[in-house]
Amino acid sequence: MTRLLHVCDFHGSSLLWSKLLEATSHYEADVVLVCGDLTGKAIVPIVEQQEGWFYNLWGKEERITSEAELEETKHRLSARGLYQYVTTIDKVRRLQKDPRAVDAIFVRLMKERIVEWLADVPKEVSSKVKFVVSPGNDDIFDIDSILEESSHIIYPLGRVVDLDDRHKLISCEWVNDTPWDTPRECNERQLKEKLVRELKRVSDYNNLLCNFHAPPYNTHLDWGPTLDSDLRPKAEFGSAVMQHVGSKAVREAIEEFQPLITFHGHIHESGGFDRIGRTYCFNPGSEYESGVLRGYLLELPEDSQKLEFIRVEI
């Protein structure tokens, strides 16, 4: 049987990427699915001064006094999914007045990290492994050409990927509307059209696997926090107020076409497994800021055998 490792929502964490490469060999995976949200969310300027450097993280100023400490700081920030930008105080003041220049730096840093990650794949992973890497709704379109042109991974968007002799994969990285206006989100009607377009690429759904970044609505996979008008999580009696925030279009598509398996991500707090009819649905969840890699390891069944799977945490 084909052994598949499903992970997602790295958000720039180089530690999680390193763990994934090790886990691929450790679990002897034949197929790896990295299903979206590859890039990070913030830049941390590291500012040169007369004696060393300083940076400010979440309101706390930290000082660096040596080159070795600088490299360790950059490594630590990368592990948490943050991008480092070593600069001067004069450059910081100029950038504060030029948002377009900041955006250009952000894009460059995101692209550079993706290039670094992909270069590590052939060093750590057997060429026999089918290593599929897909963007998600948070990822800028600038990274797609890097993924598509890489000879080290499979870029799955807009095509059918043969995972083995029996199982095919289709993908859709778009999600239903969010409060954050991410690059790849749309309304439910538009999303349903995108999903059906991908599903129509195949005629047999019995052994079809779907990489749909948005989880289906009203399942164990789409519990997210209820937000107030300032986009802060609501709480009652010290606990977050949760609600279903997944996609109704994704659920409708699963109910209509009944693929064998659907892989999701997007909602970090709602890792788990569910079923919609005959379809197995997975969301490993994400704790990228804590450096914890979550995933599902599956044995893809031959014929009508029962699907075997476990949730892994590294």
Q: Are residues 243 and 294 in the same domain?
A: yes
Of 77-86, 225-234, 250-259, 284-293, which range is least confident? Answer: 225-234
| Listed residue (270, 267, 257) closest to 176, CA to CA | 267
DSSP character string of the chain: -EEEEEE---TT-HHHHHHHHHHHHHTT-SEEEEES--S-S-EEEEEEETTEEEEEETTEEEEE-SHHHHHHHHHHHHHTT-EEEEE-HHHHHHHTT-HHHHHHHHHHHHHHHHHHHHHHHHHHS-TTSEEEEE--TTS-GGGHHHHHH-SSSB--TTS-EE-SSS-EEEEE--EE--TT--TTEE-HHHHHHHHHHHHTT-S--TTEEEEESSPBSSSTT-EEE-B-TTSPBPEETTEE-EEE-SBHHHHHHHHHH--SEEE--S-GGG-EEEEETTEEEEE---BGGGTB-EEEEEEEPSTTPPPEEEEEE-
User: Does residue 301 have a pLDDT over 90?
Assistant: no
Answer whether residue 295 is part of any domain: yes
Asked if residue 114 is part of any domain, the answer here is no
Q: Are residues 67 and 135 in the same domain?
A: no
Q: Which residue, of 75, 105, 135, is where some domain finishes?
A: 105
Q: Which residue is it, tokens 């199982």?
A: 167
Exposure pattern of 226-239 as b/e (b: 16+ CB <10 Å)? eeeeeeeeeeeeee
pLDDT of residue 214: 98
First to last CA, the chain: 23
**Do 86 and 187 have their domain in common?**
no
Give a yes or no: residue 113 inside a domain.
no
pLDDT at 304: 61
CATH of the domain at 166: 3.60.21.10
Together in a domain, 158 and 19: yes
Are residue 23 and residue 149 in the same domain, yes or no?
Answer: yes
Do 49 and 136 share a domain, yes or no?
no
Is the pLDDT at 302 greater than 90? The verdict is no
Q: Residue 23 falls within a domain, yes or no?
A: yes
Residues 23 and 156 in one domain: yes
Q: Is residue 302 part of a domain?
A: yes
Residues 207, 208, 213, CA angle at the centre, nearest 5°? 145
Residue 115 lies in a domain: no
- 110 within some domain: no
The answer to whether residues 190 and 129 belong to one domain is yes
Domain range for 162 is 2-40+124-313
- The one-letter code for the residue type at 167 is H
Sign of the Cα torsion 90, 96, 98, 102 reads positive
Tell whether 117 is covered by a domain.
no
Q: What is the pLDDT at residue 50?
A: 87
Count how many domains the chain has. Answer: 2
Per the prediction, the chain carries an average pLDDT of 96
pLDDT digits (tens, 9 = 90+) for 141-176: 999 999 999 999 999 999 999 999 999 999 999 999
Of all residues in the chain, the percent with pLDDT exceeding 70 is: 100
Q: Do 258 and 161 share a structural domain?
A: yes
204 and 85 both lie in a single domain:
no
94 and 170 inside one domain: no
Residues 191 and 225 in one domain: yes
Which tops the pLDDT comparison, 239 or 200? 200
pLDDT, position 113: 98
